[in-house]
Amino acid sequence: MDLCERCQRIDLHSLPPALDTTADGYPLATLSQIVQGAASACSFCRIVTSCLYNFAQHAEYLTETTGPVAAHADTVLRLRQGVPDRGDGGKLGGVQLLGPGSLKTNIPLYAKKDSPAWLDGDILESNLCMPLDPHGLKPSQFVKKRMDICMSQHEQCRVSFSGHDAERQPPVPPRRLLSVIPSKQENPPPDIRLLEIAKASGLAVQYAALSHCWGPPEKRPPCTLRGNLEKHKESIPWAALSQTFRDACGLCADLGIGHLWIDSLCIIQDDAADWETEAAVMGLTYEQASLVIAASAAADSSQGLFGVRRRNEFAQLRHKGRRDSGVYAYQSRSPKYHVDNGPLNARAWVLQEYILARRAAHFTRWGVVWTCCRDPAVAVDEYDGGSGGGRSSVHQIPHTWENVVRDYSRRGLTYKSDKLVAVRGLAAAWGERQGKTPFCGLVLEDMPLGLAWFWSGHGGEKLVRDVVGGVPSWSWASVTGRVDFPMRENEEATPGMAVVSGPIRPADQVRCPGGLVFDGSLVKEVDARIGPFECLPSYIEDLRAIDPASEPLRHLVPGSTAWCSHTNHDEQFYMLVDRQRGNIGWCAFDEKAEAAGPISCLPLFKESVRPWYMPPVDTAEPFCMWCLVVRRAGKGDGFERVGWGRVLDPSWIEGGQREEVLLI
């Protein structure tokens, strides 16, 4: 927490007031000096530099790698007192940073409890839990306060995601729970043992569930195995628990919650049958829990719930001439930032845990973030408690199932075979909530739109069809990699979209697991040739003018690049060529390399080629057809997906013979 010589001279009390327009502000240092100070470990220079990079227009004066832009290197940054908070008696809660151009941003302050500035009453006190502040609000006190309010006042938080009242109709608990019994003595840890609950017992208990990262193999958390199951039923030694597990058990004891569910301890990890049974109801476990405890900042279970800020993220500043004033400037981020960017949120399993949770306490590196069903898009950040509570979007309920898939596909899985298992509970709850039918990672009622997924990665990323376990080729769950859909994130379909595939239904799942039957659909064989595309054409006139052997098409008819966003050029596109009609569209293969063997197009739906933000001109405007690129699957009658594309010739499907098509 060292300060450079310039920052040591700052006195908060002497800074010009925020509303004094006659003063230019206290000259702190030039932009170059601030960057140099940050590189030399000055904690306040680092905070200022961080604020500069967070400013939307920072590229005008600060590069990502080389420091200040030459034109602004000698620009002086200035400080003013922040605007006093009227709701807190006019106390000072921050300083304004003034810089080049339109730069004006706020650096928050807080006064440590019982410090000179706190006793003077002119600096905003806060519940910031800094390493230097032993008097901060205990996380368990904050969680208990929020939970008491939620349980007594929020009717909507009693109802599970799928629509059941989990409070009035106590849920059947998971097969096993940890029993957490507080010690009757002073300070000793609670007694922990594994409780096995018979389904016929009718026992209904309140329990919490832990959401955490397992980490790499060398950081594997404590597990229940067939060999130690009976010992765990007798007692689990406190010393045998990892730090995160201890913190979660201690939190439950403080909250008066007598039972805790932790996956590694409540599922027998070397018993495949037990794992399969419990994994199938894991979504329900989180949905019915009274509280989900999320170890958002921990990359493995050894790191605990209660993260500590790095010392260079806050700086003690002089106030009224005192260096030991107890006033700290600190880096400020929204609650959403700390939840979204923590190690836990990169896990695929955690998506259903977050969405299904009725109440959740997210333990981030900067504090506890609370979310509940009253407003799932709002969190209350403990660390802004002194200024009325910081509120920002954290976890919104996705508008469509395709949005769930978009988010889920960017997350990591240790075992590819878990691709559908890790979202099974959410899919079931989603189906019950929406009155729809989940099937192999998609929703039957959303087909054929949901079948039109495609790669959305960048650079060296690519889709790899390496998921085992009988996942059908038409499901996004058959590949590893990020996927997207043609519809916008807030819509189930784009305007003017019309189905051309015919009715879709599941095949006989005994004879053909995961199969889809298209009744009265069309499959036509095509050729695929490397497409010389710089922009993807949207009109058949442009497409017909392309010679596959020509140079890249650089100029298109105005308006014809409606779909091409210039962000998907890492993809290799191919020309779709009909032997009689010539160029009819373009396509991309799921695994980048051209699929072996003859390929065919299976049309799904058609839509206008005009951009979504432009209204239709008339009923005869051009349209295109989204299609799957498929090939025969072995020697059977079915087809398998190998890619996707667009057919721009509207007459291509006219006169074709429709038949029953099996997609596997």
Same domain, 189 and 254: yes
Tell whether 127 is covered by a domain. Answer: no
3-class state of residue 637 by DSSP: coil
| pLDDT tens-place string over residues 61-120 | 788 777 788 888 899 999 999 877 655 556 788 899 988 777 888 898 888 777 888 888
Decide which of 131 and 599 is more confident.
Answer: 599
| pLDDT tens-place string over residues 258-271 | 999 999 999 999 99
3-class state of residue 399 by DSSP: coil
Tell whether 226 is covered by a domain. Answer: yes
C-beta of residue 107 within 8 angstroms of C-beta of residue 29? no
Same domain, 606 and 515: yes
Same domain, 384 and 243: yes
Decide which of 80 and 571 is more confident.
Answer: 80
- How would residue 254 be classed by pLDDT, with cut points 50, 70 and 90? very high
Lowest mean pLDDT among 495-504, 538-547, 607-616: 607-616
| pLDDT tens-place string over residues 42-54 | 999 999 988 888 7
Those residues whose C-beta lies under 8 Å from the C-beta of residue 336, and which sit 6 or more positions away, are: 379, 392, 393, 394
Same domain, 146 and 76: no
pLDDT over 60 (residue 129):
no
Q: What is the pLDDT of residue 527?
A: 87
Q: How far apart are CA 329 and CA 44, in angstroms?
A: 7
Q: What is the pLDDT of residue 495?
A: 59
| DSSP character at residue 509 | T
Same domain, 161 and 232: yes
Same domain, 515 and 598: yes
**What is the extent of the structural domain holding 49?**
5-111
Domain termination site, one of 91, 111, 131: 111
Q: What is the pLDDT of residue 358?
A: 94
Number of domains within the chain: 3
Work out the burial of residue 94: count CB atoms within 10 Å of its CB; fewer than 13 is exposed, 13-18 middle, 19 or more buried: buried
**Position of tokens 């469509």?**
400
Report the percent of the chain where pLDDT is more than 90.
46
Same domain, 46 and 158: no
CA–centroid distance for 339 within its chain? 9
Q: What is the pLDDT of residue 131?
A: 37
Tell whether 218 is covered by a domain. Answer: yes
Q: How far apart are CA 70 and CA 52, in angstroms?
A: 16
Q: What is the pLDDT of residue 570?
A: 63
- How would residue 132 be classed by pLDDT, with cut points 50, 70 and 90? very low
Q: What is the pLDDT of residue 568?
A: 44
Q: What is the mean pLDDT of the chain?
A: 83
Same domain, 82 and 186: no
Tell whether 423 is covered by a domain. Answer: no
- How would residue 2 be classed by pLDDT, with cut points 50, 70 and 90? confident
Q: What is the pLDDT of residue 639?
A: 95
Tell whether 43 is covered by a domain. Answer: yes
Same domain, 235 and 367: yes
pLDDT over 80 (residue 21):
no
Decide which of 456 and 630 is more confident.
Answer: 630
Q: What is the pLDDT of residue 560?
A: 35
Lowest mean pLDDT among 45-49, 181-185, 223-227, 235-239: 181-185
Q: What is the pLDDT of residue 601?
A: 94
- How would residue 562 be classed by pLDDT, with cut points 50, 70 and 90? very low
pLDDT over 50 (residue 127):
no
Tell whether 305 is covered by a domain. Answer: yes
Q: How far apart are CA 412 and CA 479, in angstroms?
A: 13
Q: What is the pLDDT of residue 133?
A: 40
- How would residue 252 be classed by pLDDT, with cut points 50, 70 and 90? very high
Decide which of 383 and 215 is more confident.
Answer: 215
Q: Ranked by mean pLDDT, which of 76-90, 172-186, 389-403, 433-447 comes out on top? A: 433-447
Decide which of 472 and 330 is more confident.
Answer: 472
Tell whether 651 is covered by a domain. Answer: yes
Decide which of 248 and 395 is more confident.
Answer: 248
Same domain, 107 and 149: no
pLDDT over 90 (residue 345):
yes
C-beta of residue 12 within 8 angstroms of C-beta of residue 53? no
3-class state of residue 405 by DSSP: helix
Same domain, 19 and 159: no
Residues 542-552 as b/e (b if ≥16 CB within 10 A, e otherwise) read bbeebeeeeee
Domain termination site, one of 341, 360, 392: 392
| pLDDT tens-place string over residues 532-560 | 666 677 778 777 777 655 544 433 333 33
Q: Residue range 583-593: average pLDDT?
A: 86
Report the percent of the chain where pLDDT is more than 70.
82
Q: Residue range 152-175: average pLDDT?
A: 84
Q: Residue range 592-608: average pLDDT?
A: 85
Domain termination site, one of 373, 392, 411: 392
Q: What is the pLDDT of residue 50?
A: 85
Q: Which residues pair with 8 in a beta bridge?
A: none
pLDDT over 60 (residue 130):
no
Lowest mean pLDDT among 156-165, 367-376, 484-493: 484-493
Those residues whose C-beta lies under 8 Å from the C-beta of residue 356, and which sit 6 or more positions away, are: 160, 161, 283, 286, 287, 425, 426, 429
Q: Residue range 419-427: average pLDDT?
A: 95
Greatest Cα pair distance, the chain, in angstroms, is 88
pLDDT over 90 (residue 7):
yes
Same domain, 518 and 558: yes
Tell whether 87 is covered by a domain. Answer: yes
3-class state of residue 562 by DSSP: coil
Q: What is the pLDDT of residue 397?
A: 78
Q: What is the pLDDT of residue 447?
A: 93
Tokens of 62: 């600060």
Q: How far apart are CA 354 and CA 308, in angstroms?
A: 23
DSSP strand pairing (582-589 vs 639-647)? antiparallel
- How would residue 531 be classed by pLDDT, with cut points 50, 70 and 90? low
Q: What is the pLDDT of residue 652?
A: 86
